[in-house]
Each structure stands twice: as structure tokens, then as C-alpha cells.
Amino acid sequence: MDMKTTRAPYQQRVKLEEEISTIIKSIPEIDINQPVCPFCNAPQPIIIPNAGTNDHGLRKYCDCMEMQDYLKQNHKLRELKEQLKIAQQREDFQRKWAEKMFEESGVGKRFLTASFEYFERQRMPKAYDIALGFAESFDKNDGEGLLFTGDVGTGKTHLAAAIATKIIRKNSATVEFVSYTEVLTDIKAAFSNHSEEAYLLEERMRKADLLVIDDLGKEKPSPFTNELFYRVVNVRYKDKLPMIITSNYGVESLSERLNYSVFSRLVAICRVIEMRGIDYRMKDYLC
């Protein structure tokens, strides 16, 4: 799906609702079904085409500009309402589809509550605002991603998952959310078993509208996984597809833990956001 040319049903619905609300405000609240025109007082007879039948006839509305304008506006309003109905159906369909995508994305059950609503903004206001801004303007994204680095438990994964959740729901984008450690283990096992799964995972990582890699650098990569990540990162770099990375390591340490070609591309296309502070997961136990 081409994010840049397709207007999401959500945006279309909101736009139509705005147009409808504007047009409703501009239409005067009057009863036009009167014997005289409410604008200019000219007579508005009821035309009965077949006298003697049960046909109740139609009122002949006035020809004056105000009445014609009123009728035009009403016609437009009916059309917009029809379009709105279709947009709502599309949005509903998209929501169901997004739920399915969400289940398949790997954001997983673990992150079901990892939305922006559940993140206390005041703990990490800057990181929160950047993350939210990224998610909200995702359809205009030109390949720039985010790299959240910093201490354990500052909410890096939470923000990454919140972004993923928001753009799946709002933009029906395809998201691949992977744990770095799991990819290393899974894909290696799959490749050595000649399983198709490894190729499929790599394919999804290359092509998803958004790729999230959680806990980058946790394990030292082997030459094999370096190769894999290089292929993925390089394709995404060239295709301007954004990535969100979280890592407990700072940029400096990451440069030592990753292959240089991978590292240099990542920092070229990801905005680095440092998150320092007390363990977010521990906050409930602290006074």
C-alpha cells in the first residue's frame, strides 16, 4: 500500500465531517415547504401533474437566487452524507483489517497496553512528543526513523510499540515489530533448517511500511546476522522506509557492537533520542 498517495479512511471521514459541519452552519434553518418563498415571498404552488389521481403533487420551489442556492447546498449536503456513509464503512473495514494486522505485526499481546495513553508523558516529555509526532505524521514520512537509546526501563519499547500500534490503526500500515535477540535466534535456526520462515521474516523486515527492532545490540551479532541486518537496513535505506530502533546502548557503544555498514546507515536515517532516568518499570515501587 502506498502511504503517500492513499488518504486513510480515517482522514477522509474527518474531512467529510468537517465539510458537513461547515455546510450545515451555512444553510439557514427554515422551512421551505410553504405556500410562499421564505426568502422573497413569491408564491410556491403545489403542482399536481395528474388531476383526480392520488398523486399529492410537488411544491414548485421559487426560482429566486436564495432559494436556488439553498436547494444546491442541500443537494451537496445529501451527497456529502452519502460519501460519509461510505467512508465510515471503509473505516470500519480498515479497523477490522488493522486488528488483524496488529495481531500479525509482532507487536503482540505483550504490548497491547503500550499505547500513548498509557505512557506518562511527564516522565519523558521530549521523547514522548517526538514519538507521538512521528506516529501522527507517518503518512508524510520520508524514511527518517527514530533510535531510542538509554537506560533500561525508561519506556523505549513502550514508545516504539505505541508508535507501531498507532500507525497500524490509523494508517493501516504494515508493521514488523521484532526483538533483535529473537531475530538472531529464530532466523539462524530457520536458515539452518532450510525453513521458509527465515526468508519470509527477512522479506517482511525489508518491506514493512515500518520496521521496529527492539533491543538492538543486546547480543553481539555473528557474521551471519550482520549480513542479514545489512541486507534489511540497506534495502530500507534505499527505499526510504523508516525504522524505529530501541537499544540500551548509546550510539558510541552501538558503533562497537554492530557492523559498521549497518551502524552508519542506521544513524544516517534515524533521529537519536536519548532516554535517561529511573527505571520506568520500577516506578510503582518507588516513593
Per CB under 5 A, the segment of 32-40, 164-172, 187-195, 209-217 that binds Zn ion is: 32-40
If residue 231 lies in a helix (H) or strand (E), which one and from where to where?
A: helix 223-239
Kindly state whether residue 44 participates in binding Zn ion, applying the rule CB under 5 A.
Answer: no
Give the β-pairing of 58-59 and 46-47: antiparallel
- Taking residues 226 to 265 in sequence order and writing x for each that binds Zn ion by CB under 5 A, - otherwise, the string is ----------------------------------------
Closer CB to Zn ion, 66 or 82, in the complex: 66
- Burial (CB < 10 A; 0-12, 13-18, 19+), residue 276, is exposed
Closer to Zn ion by CB, 41 or 253: give it: 41
Secondary element (H or E) of residue 47: strand 46-47
Shortest Cβ 67–Zn ion spacing (Å):
4
Q: Can residue 39 be called a binding residue for Zn ion (CB under 5 A)?
A: yes
Q: For residue 33, what is its C-alpha cell?
A: 415547504
Residue with smaller CB distance to Zn ion, 32 or 190: 32
CB 34, min distance to Zn ion, A: 11
Helix (H), strand (E) at residue 170: helix 156-171
Task: Return the number of the residue (27 or 42) whose C-beta is nearest Zn ion.
Answer: 42
Containing H/E element for 178? strand 175-179
Say how far apart CA 21 and CA 13 lie, in whole Å. 12
Q: Least distance (Å) from Zn ion to the CB of residue 159? A: 60
Nearer to Zn ion (CB atom), residue 30 or residue 112: 30
Residue 64 interacts with Zn ion (CB under 5 A): yes or no:
yes
Contact range with Zn ion by CB under 5 A, out of 64-72, 129-137, 139-147, 211-219: 64-72
Give the residue among 275, 286, 261, 287 at the shortest CA–CA distance from 119.
275
Question: In angstroms, rounded to a whole number, what is the distance separating the alpha carbons of residues 175 and 161?
Answer: 10
Residue 47 sits in the site that holds Zn ion (CB under 5 A)? no
Task: Kindly tell me which residue out of 1, 27, 40, 152 binds Zn ion, with binding defined by CB under 5 A.
Answer: 40
Backbone phi and psi for residue 136, each to the nearest 5 degrees, phi listed first = -75, -30
| Cα torsion through 111, 3, 263, 176, rounded to 10 | 30
CB of 2 to Zn ion, least distance (A): 49
Give yes or no for residue 269 binding Zn ion (CB under 5 A).
no
SS (H, E, C) 196-214: HHHHHHHHHHHHCCEEEEE
Assess 67 for contact with Zn ion (CB under 5 A): yes
Minimum CB separation from Zn ion for residue 22, in Å?
Answer: 24
Specify the stretch interacting with Zn ion by CB under 5 A; choose among 39-47, 96-104, 238-246, 261-269: 39-47
Q: How far is Cα 249 from Cα 61, in angstroms, rounded to an integer? A: 74
62 binds Zn ion, rule: CB under 5 A: yes
Residue 84: CB atoms within 10 A of its CB come to 17
Report the residue from 8, 16, 37, 124 that binds Zn ion according to the rule CB under 5 A. 37
Q: How far is the CB of 36 from Zn ion (least distance, A)?
A: 8
Contact residues: Zn ion, CB under 5 A: 37, 39-40, 42, 62, 64, 67
